[in-house]
């Protein structure tokens, strides 16, 4: 039996809306966590939702609107500060790599 759940960390667009956050979702399949998009505040939302950060080995960025990836650099920096050594694979539009 497959264990599957989704935690919605944020579902808002680029314009602030009270009680909603920039887009980010965690998909958990048999305890493997995949982060889909990484808007600003994703780290805080991961903490609030008790998502184990080090279980995230894959991040998918759907497109390059800021509300979908502005939290990525901060998250990667935090992984580095916490001395993460596990491989982190990031999927996204080719421009994500070209612009950074």
Q: Give the C-alpha distances (Å, rounded to integers) separating 58 from 3, 14, 43, 94.
A: 18, 23, 15, 16
Q: What is the pLDDT of residues 20-63, one digit of tens each?
A: 899 999 999 998 999 999 999 999 999 999 998 889 999 999 99
- Model pLDDT, residue 99: 58
* Cα(64)–Cα(62) distance, integer angstroms: 7
Q: Full-prediction pTM beyond 0.75? A: yes
Per the residue annotation, which of 5, 37, 57, 67 is the catalytic one? 67
**pLDDT of 89 above 60:** yes
Which runs of consecutive H residues, i.e. helices, occur in the chain?
42-48, 66-69, 72-81, 94-98
Which runs of consecutive H residues, i.e. helices, occur in 10-90?
42-48, 66-69, 72-81
Tell me, yes or no, if 67 is annotated catalytic. yes
* Cα(89)–Cα(12) distance, integer angstroms: 25
E strands, the chain, are 4-10, 24-29, 32-36, 56-60, 89-91
Each domain of the chain, given as residue ranges in start order, spans 1-35+51-85
């Amino acid at each position: 039996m497959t264990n599957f759940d989704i935690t919605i960390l944020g579902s808002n667009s680029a314009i602030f809306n009270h009680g909603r956050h920039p887009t980010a979702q965690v998909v958990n399949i048999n305890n493997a966590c995949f982060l889909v998009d990484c808007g600003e505040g994703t780290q805080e939302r991961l903490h609030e939702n008790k998502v184990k950060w080090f279980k995230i080995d894959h991040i998918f960025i759907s497109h390059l609107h800021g509300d979908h990836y502005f939290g990525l650099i901060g998250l990667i920096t935090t992984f580095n500060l916490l001395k993460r050594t596990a491989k982190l694979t990031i999927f996204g539009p080719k421009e994500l790599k070209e612009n950074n």
